[in-house]
Chains A and B, each alone.
Chain A
Amino acid sequence: MSNPQSLTDEERGRFSWQIMMSGFGEDSQHKLKQSSALVSRVGGLGSPVALYLAMAGIGKLVIAHGGVPELGHMNRWIMSPYEGVDKISPVDSVIAHIRKLNPTIELVGVKESVTEENAAELVSQADIIMDCPPYFEERHLLNREAIRQNKPMVEAAVCGAEGYLTVIAPGETPCMSCLGFQSKDWELPFPVIGAVPGVIGSMAAMEAVKVLTGYGEPLKNRLVMYNGETAEFQTIKLKRRSDCEVCKPVVVYQ
């Protein structure tokens, strides 16, 4: 009897170009099939994240996003159709789009963005968290919950022609709170050229593939900054804050 979790012949064929990669192989493809990711918001950044994780062969995607696209989103929400502006949930659009590309993936749509009320439940449904919302509050909520549930999170953000990403691994790397990223002045709309979240979102998907499969070297304890204006990347070595209120080591008395 075949193992339902093993790769089918169709999957071996569909993913043959990445299975042939040195260091990846069928074992990594199998791990990806058994993995799941929460994509928090599928706007400019989350759309390429969801797209490339689905096409890479991840087993399950949980897609959470409240609201509908606005006209100004149409330079970057690559899976939301123009006729859906002000009407169609991006969750519906993304699921419909992805189903055409990967007919075997499990897709869970949640037409809500991350809140205090649903964060724990959403995070519990996935092996990795993809942090793509346009608000610091949602990002810190996901960070806290990912740390609490000991789940890795790919933290990515964009503004203007710039973007950054890093992989947060609880206990191994600084968390978002360690990095201090917060701003009382942040507001929407923010300036952005659509290709920039495309670049950063694609890189974020790649980091998730690495974390989930063990392939390569995930972007832990490093932050990559991309400047689309100059076509330059910078890498900064990160460190944890010993006094971080979110991820400081917990002392367990026995």
Chain B
Amino acid sequence: MIKVKFSSNGKLREALNGDIEVAVEATALTLHEAIRIVGDRLQGEQRTLLLDDEKETIQEHILLAVNDEMVTDNESLQDGDHIRVLMPMAGG
């Protein structure tokens, strides 16, 4: 069993009602797999905050961090890791 924490901001945080835990009965889990699992909990516009179903990818315009370090690759996660997703904002 691998358990990771998932935090986000903005509309995504509202859609998920705050931080959530992702638990998977597996011996290995990647960042993208974990995000897909979170995305699958959402529907419609909320789902598209995280996933691009046309391209079958994670949305490009979000910043991903694991254990408070930005990541650009599909990293392998360890039990206890903390994923943080930053939704873009441009308010001035």
Residues of B at under 8 Å CB distance from A? 9-10, 60-63, 65, 68-70, 72, 84, 86-92
Contact = CB atoms under 8 A, between A and B. Distances in A.
Contact of B70 (A163, A192, A238): A238
B60 A180 contact: yes
A133 B65 CA distance: 25
Top 7 A-B pairs, shortest CB-CB distance: A159-B89, A181-B88, A45-B92, A158-B91, A182-B61, A134-B92, A132-B92
Contact of B89 (A158, A180, A234, A241): A158
A236 interface: yes
A186 B70 contact: no
A70 to B, nearest CB: 14
B90 A134 contact: yes
Contacts of A41: 92
A186 B89 CA distance: 8
Interface string A210-246: 0000000000000101010000001111110100000
A57 interface: no
B84 A234 contact: yes
B83 to A, nearest CB: 12
Interface in A106-139: 132-136, 139
A159 B91 contact: yes
A183 interface: yes
Contacts of B72: 239, 241
A158 B90 CA distance: 6
Interface residues of A, number: 38
Most chain A Cβ neighbours within 10 Å, of B69, B70, B87: B70
A183 B10 contact: no
Most chain A Cβ neighbours within 10 Å, of B89, B90, B92: B92
B68 A157 contact: no
Most chain A Cβ neighbours within 10 Å, of B60, B65, B70, B90: B90
B65 A182 contact: no
A59 interface: no
Contacts of A170: none
A157 B87 CA distance: 12
Contact of B92 (A174, A197, A241): A197
Contacts of A159: 10, 89-91
B70 A44 contact: no
A46 interface: yes
A234 B91 CA distance: 19
A190 B69 CA distance: 28
A43 interface: yes
Contacts of A158: 89, 91-92
Contacts of A223: 63, 70, 86
Contacts of A46: 92
Given A133-B92, A241-B72, A162 B9 contact: yes
Nearest to A243: B72
B52 to A, nearest CB: 11
A180 B59 CA distance: 10
A234 B60 CA distance: 22
